[in-house]
Amino acid sequence: MTPIARTRLNFLLSYLCFGLVAFALWLQHAEQLAPCPLCILQRYAFVGAGVFFLLSGLFGGSLARSGLWAGALVSGLGVAVAARHVYVLYNPSVSCGLDPVEDFVNSLPPAQWLPQVFFADGTCGAKLPPFLGLDIPEWSLIWLVLLTVVALVLSLRRQ
């Protein structure tokens, strides 16, 4: 893969991450779907991975590879959160209720700086209308797995 193609792919991954966060914000504000604490943690994963992919696209060499590794790590952590969210959806007895995760998420600085983006006020077990046949957390899990795999493959390839 040429360096230009690799750079474009890194930017594409970054734009994809930010686009998915923008879609989540549209669902929250236009469709009035309140995000739960696990949703907000997944947003952090998408934003973090997007930032690392963007930095990877801006820099070459070992810095680009480090950015891909960091993006893979952050999106991999997002996979764990999204998998937990899907588990909660299919096992309502495990639902959050009064959730200490919500207090933690809402006390993080970004929730104070940008509450319209990072403040959780929904319930994790709430059954929302499916989007193209899947629940939103399932879509999030799919995208995070794909981002993790692509970042790992790109970081392991030779220049």
Token readout for 35 is: 């995000």
Cα(26)–Cα(31) distance, rounded to whole angstroms?
7
- DSSP, residue by residue, 15-50: HHHHHHHHHHHHHHHTS-----HHHHHHHHHHHHHH
Q: Give pLDDT, residue 125.
A: 67
Q: Give the residue from 118, 124, 127 showing the smallest Cα distance to 95.
A: 124
Long-range contacts of 60-67 (CB under 8 A, 24+ apart): 60/3, 60/7, 61/159, 64/6, 64/7, 64/10, 65/155, 67/10
**Phi/psi class of residue 122: alpha, beta or left (left: φ > 0; alpha: ψ in -120 to 50)?**
beta
Q: Residue 12, CB half-sphere, CA atoms under 13 Å: how many?
A: 10
pLDDT in tens, 62-113: 788 888 899 999 999 999 999 988 888 888 776 655 566 666 777 777 777 7
pTM: 0.83
Instruction: Look at the chain and count its residues.
Output: 159
Could you tell me the domains of the chain? 3-156 (1.20.1550.10)
pLDDT the model gives residue 45: 94
pLDDT surpassing 70 at residue 49: yes
- Does 59 score more than 90 pLDDT? no
Q: How many CB atoms lie within 10 A of CB 112?
A: 11
Q: CB–CB of 102/120 below 8 Å?
A: yes
pLDDT of residue 73: 94
Chain-centroid distance of CA 126 in Å reads 19
